[in-house]
Structure 1
């Protein structure tokens, strides 16, 4: 119920709340355009948002004052009025994105345009959870010290199953439940944790090859298969956030037990472990590097070509099942998925077509390489963190901090 004065008119408090919200709505719309298209001009933003020149000037001036946006003159073009290019303010908010993979880790810093810039990286000397957390926490602390109060959140992409915002299991890292709260130096700083493949798919839907799709399926191969279904820009993560574990669908050999505890997982048929098994070699310590090396050998080595072809067939067949189930507009392939498809295109294509329902075969969804490549998880971690910063509450908190 709206607040009213005794005379029945809206109270001054209610009016001020509405005015504040309206102000932030315009600011948020401008910042979202800058985030969606880095290097966009003020005139371009005004046109897309239906703003008058005066309104656009007023909003951007306010954002400059708050340290959220900077403007530089745009290159002259034609006889129109000069305009400016919008950028994140050099002293504005940033988020820290962390990517924890099987063999290594990276941290990056992203401003309001959402583009992560890697600050530090390293290889795991040990996969023991406490050691991994300690090493990365030191790197996060150093980044926080460099950027001070500008850091608004830390967002982690991890090669693990994530439930209720916490790691519950990682076949890739050999972890069960692991507490990642030690990654942030200050408990008041928000910590967000997500599955790496899910976050990569979210980023691909925002900025990448699936940016125009209403329903996008992202599938990646690193150590096993991961991915997500993205609908209207949002990953379908399930009741507790653990959705998208495609690699643990029973598309594989039921005689094989997966490190996750289940049998017959698709994971075991498509990555470097499958290729090594087909070649009669021991399981590789790093399945991703092993698989890429096998692809490189396949051009000159018949056994390697056969092993890669078998893995590509298993991948195409399982992908057909996901397409049948989810009916996506587009499929994006991340990690080793695209090199595997390219290395054994005939085997992949035959298996994919054979697994599709008959009505889908004349017009299947396009299957394309992910545009963000190996940085998809970092982009996704930044996207998630900035979604929390770019809210009315987030901007109000930033403005209050500057005023203080």
Structure 2
């Protein structure tokens, strides 16, 4: 798309005309995000565009290095069409996933699909050291992609309020400033809870795509998740909503690292399994739980401990279904393997916990389509939502014009 210039009479295009032009481009880019590799004909049909309009818009997007086109595979006698995908010189965002034991950095183009470029294990959970290591990886990614980088987004195993980390039971953090992750202060930084972002991605183009109301639950170290309504997470007044693991569904005699008593977190992950086995609390509950599932097939005490955790999970999930009335429930992280490993215990607890009218037709509970990459996908979604705006495209077009 060309940058609006003065007309022959010396007048600039009206704001309404300029915005309409960007809106058409944004609609096309959204289709590419929703379905990478969509054909131009398919995109035009879904958006109700004429062949001429589709051709004009895609030509502008090619000119701006936003989209590239390649011939689509022949399919019958119809007119040949092209496949749309991000331009190799187009904008990218950098997504970070900060978990209890490790971290990952990924780069995503306009299709929103993150490609992991670096990963590592925390040598220390001291906030400054963790942030410093990840910031260096972000800096390297920025140097590699130069001016193409338009934003940085971080998914963190933490409670996020007003875009800032205020507490992380998993990492042992209180309030932590992540501003140092961005090497250039002109780059916007988006910060979100990892489970919330994973749920947003599942609703956008995962297992919950098309659902009006979806509940996403993930288990890593404790329980996280989000309720997504019409594609948007319900994050509460300050953005700190969705802390399902800190509902008092557990043993009130147990004090959670978050400071509350009786948290659901402590009943469903590797810490619960270890406690049921009389073993010390594991340093990495996620890895411990994964190993326990492997042992559960032949070790009766471990199978019993896993069953107790699955039962606690099913009972709490029933409460959330009763409260939120979702159309679908997606399970990420350790949640789906836990359910599968002890299906009878999970199913019984879930059914017993549902209100009677729900039992004949409960919402489907399905595995998350994005698997362990959900948080990275969500971070990329959030960053691109912030970049792919009329203002964002205008800035990209102006910079390209300045370089030419």
Normalised by the length of structure 2, the TM-score is 0.96
Instruction: Supply the distance in 1 between the matched residues of 2:198 and 2:259 (Cα, whole angstroms).
Output: 25
CA displacement, residues 278-331 of structure 1 (integer Å, 9 cap, x when unaligned):
000000000011011111111101100110000000000000000000000000
Cα displacement (A) at 1:76: 1.1
Instruction: Name the SS of the counterpart of 2:165 in structure 1.
Output: strand
Question: 1:15 offset after TM fit, Å?
Answer: 5.6
1:57 aligns with 2:59: no
Deviation at 1:352, TM superposition (A): 0.2
Greater shift, 349-358 or 43-52, is seen at 43-52
SS at match of 1:210: coil
SS at match of 1:242: coil
- Indicate the SS of the match to 2:340: helix
For 1:345 and 1:14, locate their aligned partners in 2 and report how far apart those are by CA, in whole Å. 65
Residue 305 of structure 2: SS of its match in structure 1?
helix
2:345 corresponds to: 347
Q: 1:78 to 1:271 in 2, by over 3 A?
A: same
Tell me the distance in 2 between the aligned counterparts of 1:159 and 1:235. Answer: 16
Q: Distance in 2 between matches of 1:136 and 1:32?
A: 30
Q: How many Å apart are 1:80 and its aligned residue? A: 1.1
In structure 1, stretches of 5+ residues that fail to align are: none
Distance 2:155 2:7 in 1: 50
> Contact (CA 8 Å) 2:213, 2:326: kept in 1 or not?
yes
CA-CA distance at 1:6 after TM superposition: 22
Alpha-carbon offset, residue 390 of structure 1: 1.1
Secondary structure of the residue aligned to 1:193 is strand
Using the TM superposition, give the Cα deviation of residue 18 of structure 1 relative to its aligned residue in structure 2, in angstroms: 1.1
* Contact 2:179–2:189, Cα closer than 8 Å, also in 1: yes
Separation in 2, partners of 1:352, 1:288: 23
Structure 2 counterparts to residues 1-400 of structure 1, below 5 A: 16-400=14-398
| Separation in 2, partners of 1:300, 1:6 | 80
**Deviations 1:235-287 (CA, angstroms, capped at 9, x unpaired):** 00000000000000000000000000000000000000000000000000000
Inter-partner Cα distance in structure 1 for 2:279 and 2:48: 62
SS class of match (1:177): coil
Deviations 1:54-96 (A, max 9, x none): 1100000000001100000111111111111001010000000
- Asked if the contact 2:4/2:18 (under 8 Å) is kept, the reply is no
In structure 2, distance between residues paired with 1:231 and 1:15: 37
Question: Residues 182-226 of structure 1: CA distance to partner in whole angstroms, max 9, x if unpaired?
Answer: 000011100000000000000000111000210000000000000
Consecutive unaligned residues in structure 2, runs of 5 or more: none
Extract structure 1 runs of 4+ deviating beyond 3 A: 1-8
Pair 2,114 (structure 1): closer, same or farther in 2 beyond 3 Å: closer
Find the aligned partners of 2:232 and 2:220 in 1 and give their Cα distance. Answer: 22
Give the Cα–Cα distance (whole angstroms) in 1 for the partners of residues 45 and 365 of structure 2.
34
Query: Within 2, Cα distance between the matches of 1:76 and 1:369?
Result: 35
**251 and 74 in structure 1: CA distance in 2 versus 1, 3 angstrom threshold:** same
Please report how far the alpha carbon of residue 4 of structure 1 lies from its aligned counterpart in structure 2 after TM superposition: 19
Paired positions, count? 400
Rounded to whole Å, the distance in 2 between the matches of 1:283 and 1:69 is: 50
**Alpha-carbon spacing, 1:148–1:41, altered in 2? closer, same or farther (3 Å):** same
Alpha carbons 2:6, 2:13 under 8 Å: kept: no
Task: Report the CA distance shift for 1:96/1:3 in structure 2 as closer, same or farther (over 3 A).
Answer: closer
Superimposed CA distance per residue, residues 91-122 of structure 1 (whole angstroms, 9 cap, x where no aligned partner) = 00000000000010000000000000001000
Query: For the structure 1 residues 268 and 388, does the alpha-carbon distance in structure 2 shift closer, same or farther, using more than 3 Å as the test?
Result: same
Distance 1:14 1:182 in 2: 40
